[in-house]
Structure 1
């Protein structure tokens, strides 16, 4: 078995060797297709192509076989007329054992320069954005279904139904389950608060964010300049929104979480000026004492 392994590898290599040249002009030599030698210059290659094209061009020769040959001739000319692709082809002829390298170089030299990098970038952003939106939609749908199975959600629906009907609908149905149609109508009016899962939005997609990148950068720079002018140059007191931002940033609280805090608690936190290190340390110490007292 040990002796058979190198033999098997060599046999597989022999099977792969033609692939190195076949990617250019199939099984035929590109120079042979044009009837020129490998050391022919660009002028000789061009003259040979024009001569063969007059003979095999579909407009000159309606024979289907001649048409197929013309396509091969045109492909050979495209490879040999370009200095980079011809250089790669000559290397593939001299080093047929480097199958994977020659294949990679062929696609890079022959197709790479024909592809607009901007088109590749846009296509990549569209694909990534599509997957991102599908992932967000799937996660949000799963979260919605999970919330709808909780007793709290069912109680909120029943409370809303009682408010709308004055309790008449519930008395008629007794302890039966809510009608599906009524449940669907009421569920559209119930505001679901799902922690950790955001509703899918086109504005959050990478593709949209990339397009809006210049605007976003300009907006951030404008905000930074205004902030520096107000609070570092003019030494103005912090506005309420800016004080809330500093407090939220100091406590490392997400914007959605901050919105759910009651106004009294917000005002208490802002008044403590937690963006100052000493005030923050005092606040942490108070929270620890309160936690120990409760235990």
Structure 2
């Protein structure tokens, strides 16, 4: 019974398409879009526009005063405008012509029609530009948050706090804070913390992922300067090959540090965060040579294992694992 009903519905729809008509709300409804505008399928796009303008002037609702005539003109004006919207777009017109030529593909016609109606046509360039802008804004505020957190942490470290305190005293900044009259101890303390933070920001050089954010680090600027970055890298790479692989020139300290960073598999920001004394030590130990670096890395790994073995907490953990196993996390509240 269901199969017969489906076949009957399909035959009905095919008949409607063959007759040049469709259901209400689908293209031009029960009418043929070409006939609505008084043109044929061979009519050019410019002639279709002329026919539309001619009919639009004739049936514009503002030209009629009586309510009945005005309502009829408005209905005709909507029919004409709808037909023109379908035929003026090349892709939509092709879909409509395909429907007229292939009435048996009923469901595919519905898909093509409603795909254009329901899916908004958005310029991909605007979407990409908007996405890059949002990412850049989030990136900028996140970087500032990391930087502020790093400054707050350094203010709790006695070494850096005392240094900032000494600089503030030498410049007479703390004297001005304490001379403030009519202020409570809490307000004086808050003023002192603000001064120390400013001194810290002006005198300390934080590197790595917590460094003070630069506008050129944002994604939007990185993409803008990408051609320059790629050309600079290509120039550097070719220069490296010529200088060291062909001419056999010795490496500079910066080039040695570059190789060491690659051996350590660290990012630029991670490596820059290391102390200058550590980098000098790396160069003295010739860690830019792969064999020496591998030996050094293995030695460091053994030292870490030895330190863990001598650590009291680690020993207690090992005994616990030996006696009770690694344990499992459970969500059973019973």
| Structure 1 stretch displaced more, 243-252 or 183-192 | 183-192
Supply the distance in 1 between the matched residues of 2:45 and 2:191 (Cα, whole angstroms): 77
Q: Which residue of 2 aligns with 1:85?
A: 92
Q: Which residue of 2 aligns with 1:281?
A: 294
Q: Which residue of 1 aligns with 2:325?
A: none
Matched, 1:103 2:114: yes
Supply the distance in 2 between the matched residues of 1:44 and 1:142 (Cα, whole angstroms): 61
Contact 1:20 / 1:92 at 8 angstroms: preserved in 2? Answer: no
Seen in structure 2, the aligned counterparts of structure 1 residues 234 and 178 have a Cα distance that, compared at 3 Å, is farther
Shift of 1:229: 0.8
Supply the distance in 2 between the matched residues of 1:82 and 1:241 (Cα, whole angstroms): 60
Seen in structure 2, the aligned counterparts of structure 1 residues 282 and 144 have a Cα distance that, compared at 3 Å, is closer
Matched, 1:244 2:257: yes
Supply the distance in 2 between the matched residues of 1:219 and 1:288 (Cα, whole angstroms): 37
Supply the distance in 1 between the matched residues of 2:297 and 2:234 (Cα, whole angstroms): 33
Shift of 1:238: 0.2
Contact 1:274 / 1:280 at 8 angstroms: preserved in 2? Answer: yes
**Matching of residues 147-158 of structure 1 within 5 Å:** 147=150, 150=153, 152-153=155-156, 156=160
**Matching of residues 112-123 of structure 1 within 5 Å:** 120-121=124-125, 123=126
- The answer for unaligned runs of 5 or more in structure 2 is 3-8, 10-21, 65-69, 311-334
Q: Which residue of 2 aligns with 1:203?
A: 216
Supply the distance in 2 between the matched residues of 1:21 and 1:136 (Cα, whole angstroms): 51
Supply the distance in 1 between the matched residues of 2:246 and 2:224 (Cα, whole angstroms): 34
Shift of 1:105: 5.4
1:135 is aligned, of 134, 138, 158, to 138
1:33 is aligned, of 32, 36, 40, to 36
Seen in structure 2, the aligned counterparts of structure 1 residues 28 and 188 have a Cα distance that, compared at 3 Å, is farther
Larger RCO (CA within 8 A; separation ≥ 6)? 1
Matched, 1:187 2:194: no
- The answer for unaligned runs of 5 or more in structure 1 is 4-9, 11-18
Seen in structure 2, the aligned counterparts of structure 1 residues 231 and 195 have a Cα distance that, compared at 3 Å, is closer
Q: Which residue of 1 aligns with 2:80?
A: 73
Instruction: Show CA shifts across 1:125-156 (max 9, x none).
Output: 32122221232244335435645665843855
Seen in structure 2, the aligned counterparts of structure 1 residues 163 and 104 have a Cα distance that, compared at 3 Å, is same
Q: Which residue of 1 aligns with 2:169?
A: 165
Instruction: Show CA shifts across 1:230-273 (max 9, x none).
Output: 11111000011111111111112333333343333212212333
Q: Which residue of 2 aligns with 1:270?
A: 283
Seen in structure 2, the aligned counterparts of structure 1 residues 146 and 194 have a Cα distance that, compared at 3 Å, is farther
Aligned residues between the structures: 270
Supply the distance in 2 between the matched residues of 1:214 and 1:101 (Cα, whole angstroms): 40
Normalised by the size of structure 1, how large is the TM-score?
0.67
Supply the distance in 2 between the matched residues of 1:185 and 1:21 (Cα, whole angstroms): 74
Give the SS at the match of 1:153: coil
Normalised by the size of structure 2, how large is the TM-score?
0.61
Supply the distance in 1 between the matched residues of 2:34 and 2:294 (Cα, whole angstroms): 80
Q: Which residue of 1 aligns with 2:246?
A: 233
Instruction: Show CA shifts across 1:182-213 (max 9, x none).
Output: 43343233147486456554433443333322
